[in-house]
Structures are given as C-alpha cells and as structure tokens.
Amino acid sequence: MLNSLWCRRLAGLLLLWVAAFARADLSVDIVGGGANRYPLAVPAFAGEAAGDALTGIVRGDLALTGMVDLKPVPAGAIAADAAQLNAPVWRTLGANAVLAGRMSAGTGGLTRVDYQLVQLAPRKVLAEGGYEVPPAALADAGHRIADAVYRALFGEPSFFLSRIAYVLKEGRGSYALQVSDVDGRNARTVLRSKEPIISPAWSPDGGRLAYVSFETGKPVVWVQDLGSGQRRVLANYRGSNSAPAWRPDGQALAVVLTTSGNSQIYLVGAGGGAPQRLTRSGAIDTEPDFSPDGSRIAFVSDRSGGPQVYVMPAAGGEPQRVSWQGSYNVSPRFSPDGKQLTYMRREGGRFRVVVHDLASNDARVVSDEVYGESPSFAPNGRMVLFASDAGARSVLWASSPDGTSKVRLGTVSGEVQDPAWGPARP
C-alpha cells in the first residue's frame, strides 16, 4: 500500500498543480486557492534522481498553503544555484522567484542538499542553506527547505514540520490510530484495535498522544509516548472517560468524567493524581480545549438546551457563551493566537466547519461538505483541518480560515476520523 511511487498532475479549480507524491495513506489534491498567490518556480534540483522525492515534497508543501502559485517548469529545466540562473528565461514562466538547488554526495555516505531562493527582479537571494542527511531523511530536508522558502516569502513559520494524527477505520472492528507528516507521508500506526479509538490529542511538545480507547469495553483515556510506544491509563473511573485536552504546559489534561452522574470537565495531572472538578452543572459539559496561553478553556455545554460553545477561566468559574447562531455548535478548538475558535455547526441536515473571531464575533463557514467533523488549526493558524464524508468514504480537508483556499488530503482506503493537527517540530 505504501510502496509504489506515482505521479499525477491535477487541474484544480485554479489550475494549481502538484507533482510526484509518494503514495501513502493520504494524498494531497488542491481544489482551490486564494487570490494573490506568490508565483514561484521549483524545478528539480541538479543531481536529483527521478526517484528522489525532494523537490516534490517542497512543491507539495507550498501548494498545501494555497498561498503559492507554482509555475509549471519544462522537463529538464534545472537551476543549480543563483550564479547559473538565467533570470529572463525563468521570468517567461511567470515566476517572481526560483528555488535553485543541487544534490551531491556528502561526507560519510550522507547526501548533501544546497538551495537558494532567488528573486528574479530585482535579482536577490531571499534564502539559502544546506543540509547533509542520510538518504532516509531526504523527506525531512524537503520539509525544512519548504519551511525556509515559506518564511522568506511570507515572514512567518510554516506548518510543514508539523504532523497530524487521525483514526483510520478500515471496516467494522478495525481501527488504527495513525500519525503522519502534514502531506500524508511517513504515516505510521501508533495503535491498532478491534474497538473504537476516538479523540486523539497532541501533547504540546508533540511527543505524546492522549486518546480514548474502548478496548476494555468502555471509554478510557490513555496517554502514549510516540517515541517509545509505551502507553498507560490516564483516566479510568466508573462510567465513561473521554475528551482529553492538554494544558499548554504539558503538566495536566482536561478530561470528561461521569462520576457525578453526568458528563463534567475535570483536570488531571499528566502523571496521575486525583481529578479536580472544573465544571459544576447538571448538564452535559464536554469537549474542553485550553487557550494557547493556558488561561481559558473552551467547551461544549447543553445547559441552555442544545449544545453550544462556552469559554471559562482555566481554573473553572463562570462560563461565557460564545456561539449564538444555530442550535447545535460543538467541538471547539482555539487558534494558535487564541483569538479565534473553530467548531462544528449543524445547519439544517448539514454539519459545517465554522471559524469564529472572538473579538468581533464574526463566525464564518469554511466547509461546503454535507458533513465536516473535528476541526483543528494548523500550528501557524493558516489552515483548519477537518474530516468530511465524500459519498461513501470520508476524507480530510484543510481550509484557510477565510474559506478561500482548500486542500483535500484524500484517503486511499478506509474512513478517516477525528483528525488532530499537531504542534510544529523544532
């Protein structure tokens, strides 16, 4: 399933294209892009073999953002560095800049990769650098080069070094909790189970996942170290245990317990200890998410009747209702700057992904699908990831928070559930 390389050209709504993706559980299709995209040419690097995925990864990452207009490059066109670059020729392609680069043999069997991002008029090197990596780490070098290009063009970090977690349901009674690079490469199974797995949540350092597993016959919250694979029970109290959310300091998690006879939010230490109750209602209080500064918790409560989004102080206290449009608003997640929430709203028979600005209370629908679930922000706040059903199967979508750009991360087989966008790797 993971082996064969494939190459495909896609004409999306705005004729963006993506090339040379290694086939993985997830693949990337660009179906929409924002206006004012930066025109860029990314030819193959000098010395790059046909089977190397290096510049394919760079193009794929940049295309994912919807902010770059990747110009088609004639086959065989190569620019090894700024000195060899014939600017007028490249300008005829419509590019404002070219990513030049070369691959060569490094020391001790490593592969050396050098790159220069060259603006054509006025001519200027915007970014340059090099890596010596083992062949197996070429994909990582590709993500790092794409990040350097993105930073040079847009003056902020990219999300290319982050990972996503999701649950792949491969039929009844077969669940796989998986983690992959943001482009779907390097997908690996963290946990396989015959019983449902839901609600994966990344630790702030990206090293651990909390999740809910039904393997013991009821929902129990586990924490698993991604490096060692070791896992332990975080919350297994009488009743149901669910909805883990890490505090940004990584020292504690909010979870939902039912020991009071209804679903309420509690705080538990990451290393264990007695739960401390944070909400006190006779209603359902669930789906907690900490603000990035750790001061607030967004959650869902049906204390007013239907489920709505609320925000309360992180230590508990009087909640403020945030969502007022619609009768069903669930699954809130903060943006990295804490100024927005994304959540899921029922509109008629549809479930839409909404991005809600907390200062203006402007709430914008960013999904067109019949069903969108489990939205979460990219670590740089530029995209929202969510799962959707497209006919019989479900797929992952990433949309810009203004809804103008959209990317489909299509599944090869199975049903993708509960995606969660993880933090950026250092």
- 158 burial class (0-12, 13-18, 19+ CB within 10 angstroms)? buried
By CB under 8 A, tell whether 219 contacts other proteins: yes
| Helix (H), strand (E) counts: the chain | 3, 30
From 55-63, 98-106, 153-161, 256-264, span contacting other proteins (CB under 8 A): 256-264
395 vs 406: CA distance, rounded Å:
13
Q: How far is the CB of 373 from other proteins (least distance, A)?
A: 6
Between 199 and 224, whose beta carbon lies closer to other proteins? 199
- Does the footprint of other proteins cover residue 418 (CB under 8 A)? yes
| Among 47, 130, 196, 207, interactor with other proteins by CB under 8 A | 196
Answer for the pair 297, 289: CB distance below 8 angstroms, yes or no: yes
Give the interface segment with other proteins, choosing from 56-64, 75-83, 89-97, 236-244 (CB under 8 A). 236-244
State in angstroms the smallest separation of the CB of 7 from other proteins. 36
φ, ψ dihedrals at 143, nearest 5°:
-65, -40
Closest distance to other proteins from the beta carbon of 85 (Å): 51
Position among 186, 193, 262, 404 found at the interface with other proteins (CB under 8 A): 262
Query: Distance (Å, rounded) from C-alpha 323 to C-alpha 318?
Result: 16
Helix axes 54-64, 138-154, angle to 10 degrees: 40
DSSP 3-state of 337: coil
Of the candidates 378, 412, 411, 410, the residue with the CA atom closest to the CA atom of residue 161: 378
CB of 354 to other proteins, least distance (A): 13
Q: Which of residues 157-186 bind other proteins (CB under 8 A)?
A: 172
Of 331, 340, 342, 388, the one binding other proteins (CB under 8 A) is 331
Q: Which of 68, 201, 223, 300: binder of other proteins (CB under 8 A)?
A: 300
Q: Does 346 bind other proteins (CB under 8 A)?
A: yes
Distance separating alpha carbons of residues 316 and 288, to the nearest angstrom: 11
Name which of 72 and 173 has its Cβ closer to other proteins: 173
Cβ neighbours, 10 Å, residue 259? 14
Residues 6+ apart with CB under 8 A from 399: 353, 366, 367, 383, 384, 386, 405, 406, 407
String of contacts with other proteins for each residue 114-153, x by CB under 8 A: ----------------------------------------
Site residues (CB under 8 A) for other proteins? 172, 196, 198-199, 214, 217-219, 238-240, 242-243, 256, 258, 261-263, 284, 286-287, 300, 307, 328, 330-331, 344, 346, 351, 373-374, 417-418
